[in-house]
């Protein structure tokens, strides 16, 4: 049977009785996660039965056949794991042999996982052959990328597993700062839970102890300059430099932020950040544009044009001379605040 979405979660909440479980996707995290969940549950059901793991994109079919055919001394079903299959890396004969094995299992359950390169790879003849065989013999589940609502629930759940708490706004802040890679988010939650003493992971903790991405810190720096807090903006710049961020990279992020603000100022009245993001060809999250919208109202178009000219000069100076980058950056922040203060 083919499973996805709620049907998959419902199946995973019940005893696993199929002979085959095949999890596949173009995203690594859900494949690794569901494969591990299935193996853990099968072991619990079988009284901690031994798992035979056969690694490799093109695993040994002889080893798989031997493992699946071995009779357990305790009468439990054998569990065979093929966690990193890649049908494209397997000879046609091996794919056919694996499909035949899946149809003839008697005392074994096979758990397989594949991270396909892209949708095209998932549609190849060998991939379709394996998916169809798994569907016929047991369960095949195509796993999709987690959206922002699912990622919010994901990080909140991971916080709970650590004995900590996280509100929905804090979860959103973490996702916006760190991106949508579940591996990165899971690591961040573990780190933040320890940092806050396994209490509540607040937005303040995320800003203080979370990953110091250059984009998020530049957004904060622009906000501080825009509101006249030059001293704190300079402190934020020092933090970025202390983290070994190159001055040219900081200028690039600053320029991107002010370009986004210019886009906002050029948009028709009532045009929101999300719409402007799409108008200028943006894909994925509109986080950058929303941050830009928070500051754009403080500047006129003429002021933003002057600031962008200053940043262009700064970028050229950093790339064409041996000038002191940090000094040039600090000077530029002062000049940007001065331009913004003109009325």
What proportion of the chain, given as a percentage, has pLDDT over 90? 49
Q: How confident is the model at residue 321 (pLDDT cuts 50, 70, 90)?
A: confident
Average pLDDT over residues 25-38: 92
If you write DSSP's letter for every residue of 291-342 in order, what string do you get? Answer: HHHHHHTTS-HHHHHHHHHHHHHHHHHHHHS---HHHHHHHHHHHHHHHHH-
pTM equals 0.66
The encoded tokens of residue 117 equal 């390169």
Fill in the DSSP letter of residue 167: -
pLDDT the model gives residue 149:
86
Q: Has residue 308 got a pLDDT over 70? A: yes
The β-bridge partners of 53 are: 81
CB 88 within 8 A of CB 121: yes
Q: Residue 76 and residue 114: Cα distance in Å, rounded?
A: 26
Reported as a single tens digit per residue, the pLDDT across 211-228 is: 666 777 788 888 888 888
pLDDT the model gives residue 82:
96
Non-local CB neighbours of 250 within 8 Å, separated by 6+ positions: 214, 218, 237, 240, 241, 329
pLDDT the model gives residue 48:
65
Length of the chain: 343
* Mean of pLDDT over the chain: 87
| Order of all β-strands in the sheet with 51-53 | 2-3, 139-142, 20-25, 108-115, 78-82, 51-53
Q: Has residue 343 got a pLDDT over 70? A: no
């Amino acid at each position: 049977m083919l499973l996805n979405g709620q049907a998959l979660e419902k199946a995973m909440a019940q005893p696993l009785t199929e002979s085959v479980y095949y999890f596949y996707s173009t995203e690594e995290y859900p494949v690794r996660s569901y494969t591990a969940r299935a193996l853990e549950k099968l072991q619990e059901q079988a009284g901690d039965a031994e798992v035979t793991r056969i690694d490799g994109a093109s695993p040994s079919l002889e080893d798989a056949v031997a493992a699946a055919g071995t009779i357990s001394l305790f009468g439990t079903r054998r569990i065979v794991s093929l966690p990193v299959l890649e049908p494209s890396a397997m000879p046609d004969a091996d794919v056919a042999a694996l499909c035949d094995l899946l149809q003839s299992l008697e005392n074994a359950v096979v758990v397989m996982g594949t991270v396909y390169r892209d949708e095209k790879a998932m549609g190849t003849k060998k991939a379709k052959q394996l998916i169809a065989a798994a569907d016929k013999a047991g369960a095949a589940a195509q796993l999709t990328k987690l959206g922002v609502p699912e990622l919010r629930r994901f990080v909140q759940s991971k916080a709970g597993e650590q004995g900590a708490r996280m509100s929905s706004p804090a979860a959103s802040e973490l996702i916006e700062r760190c991106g949508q890679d579940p591996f990165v988010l899971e690591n961040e939650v573990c780190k933040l839970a320890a940092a806050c003493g396994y209490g509540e992971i607040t937005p303040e903790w995320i800003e203080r102890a979370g990953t110091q991405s250059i984009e998020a810190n530049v957004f904060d720096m622009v906000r501080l300059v825009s509101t006249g807090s030059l001293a704190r903006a300079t402190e934020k710049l020092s933090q970025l430099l202390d983290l070994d961020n190159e001055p040219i990279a900081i200028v690039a992020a600053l320029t991107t932020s002010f370009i986004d603000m210019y886009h906002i100022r050029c948009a028709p009245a009532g045009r929101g950040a999300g719409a402007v993001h799409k108008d200028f060809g943006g894909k994925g999250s509109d986080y950058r544009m929303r941050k830009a919208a928070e500051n754009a109202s403080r500047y006129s178009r003429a002021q933003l044009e002057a600031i962008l000219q200053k940043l262009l000069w700064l970028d050229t100076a950093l790339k064409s001379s041996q000038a002191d980058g940090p000094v040039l950056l600090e000077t530029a922040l002062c000049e940007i605040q001065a331009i913004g203060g003109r009325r």
